[in-house]
């Protein structure tokens, strides 16, 4: 098992953008495939403990997407947007959380080939305002926190 | 008016005031002496920092001392850290998908 690659999130105070970077021990074509093949996409996108429903998925320039995360209580969290230029080098899409409607971000993802069949992914998200950026992070955070605790439970369960 | 820690640190002068106060507490004049901006401007920044809970103003005799309160700043690191964890979990699952794909090849 390769050692775990670290995710970095850079969100400078007062700016309306953020950057996410992560390296993968896989060639670019596979990382790209996992982003445009709906059967693969559903396996990793949704948070742990949520049902991931991929309603619309057209990963071509001008195509749409919509997916819903459904929790055990039946609460649904919808997300949708439009794809723009799509290639193994870069993917451009808009993103809107329906629970925070009207606040759309532009996500620009690049996949860079690294030596040894590895790939570096960088997501540059640009929001309409600083408070939009902070708002979407805080909205996304709630699931992140819950997920964090569930994962901790998994780990602790595995230890005992 | 929205008052939170993110707004407080969005301004470079306020960040500079905070780093100055990180070393020692100062009077309002003591803070102002370190900046080219006017004293009323410094006072306005301190007022915002106070409303955001990042500084407290303590009267002592005739002076009023400004002291930094850094526990609030933790909130910023926390939310980015939690957002990072969300992506970490997602990308760890993507690793599993990629491992499967590599074996299929």
Positive/negative CA dihedral, A149, A150, A156, A159:
negative
Average pLDDT of chain B to the nearest whole number: 84
C-alpha pair distances (Å), A124 with each of A16, A24, A42, B81:
11, 17, 22, 17
Mutate to test the interface with A, among B3, B48, B101, B104 (most CBs of A within 10 A): B101
CA dist., res. B35 & res. B88, Å (int): 42
Is CATH 3.30.450.20 what the domain over A17-159 is classified as, yes or no?
no
Rounded Cα distance between A105 and A139, Å, is 14
pLDDT over 90 (residue A84): yes
Which is higher by pLDDT, B33 or A141? Answer: B33
Mutation to test the B interface, candidates A20, A45, A129, most B Cβ within 10 Å: A20
Task: Output the pLDDT for position A158.
Answer: 47
Whether A128 shows a pLDDT value over 50: the answer reads: yes
Tell me the per-residue pLDDT of A50-62, one tens digit each, with 9 for 90 and over: 888 999 999 999 9
- Phi and psi at residue B2, in whole multiples of 5°? -75, 125
Q: For A8-45, what is each residue's pLDDT tens digit?
A: 988 887 789 999 999 999 999 999 999 999 999 988 88
Domains (range + CATH), chain B: 5-70 (1.10.10.10)
Which chain A residue lies closest to B83 (C-alpha atoms)?
A141
Query: Inter-chain contact A25–B98, Cβ cutoff 8 Å?
Result: yes
Q: B82, A8: Cβ pair inside 8 Å?
A: no
User: Poorest-confidence range of A11-25, A101-115, A132-146?
Assistant: A132-146
**Is the minimum CB–CB distance between B103 and chain A shorter than 8 Å?**
no
Whether residue A137 is predicted with pLDDT greater than 50 in this model: the reply is yes
């Amino acid at each position: 098992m390769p050692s775990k690659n670290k995710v970095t999130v850079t969100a400078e105070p007062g700016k309306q953008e953020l950057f996410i970077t992560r390296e993968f021990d896989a060639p670019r074509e596979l990382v790209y495939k996992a982003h445009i093949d709906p059967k693969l996409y559903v396996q990793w996108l949704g948070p742990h403990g949520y049902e991931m429903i991929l309603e619309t998925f057209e990963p071509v320039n001008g195509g749409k997407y919509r997916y819903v995360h459904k929790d055990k209580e039946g609460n649904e969290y919808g997300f949708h947007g439009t794809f723009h230029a799509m290639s193994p080098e870069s993917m451009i899409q808009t993103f809107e959380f329906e629970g925070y409607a009207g606040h759309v971000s532009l996500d620009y993802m690049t996949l860079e080939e690294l030596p040894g069949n590895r790939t570096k992914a960088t997501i540059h998200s640009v929001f309409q305002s600083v408070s939009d950026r902070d708002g979407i992070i805080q909205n996304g955070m709630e699931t992140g926190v819950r997920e964090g605790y569930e994962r901790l439970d998994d780990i602790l369960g595995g230890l005992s | 008016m929205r008052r939170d820690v993110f707004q407080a640190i969005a301004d470079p002068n306020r960040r500079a005031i905070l780093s100055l106060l990180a070393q020692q507490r100062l009077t309002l004049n003591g803070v102002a002496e370190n900046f080219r901006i006017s004293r009323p401007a410094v006072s306005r920044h301190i007022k915002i920092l106070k409303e955001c809970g990042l500084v407290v103003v303590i009267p002592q005799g005739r002076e009023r001392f400004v002291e930094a309160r850094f526990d609030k700043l933790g909130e910023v690191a926390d939310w980015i850290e939690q957002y990072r964890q969300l992506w970490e979990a997602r990308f760890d699952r993507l690793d599993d998908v990629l491992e499967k794909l590599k074996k299929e090849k």
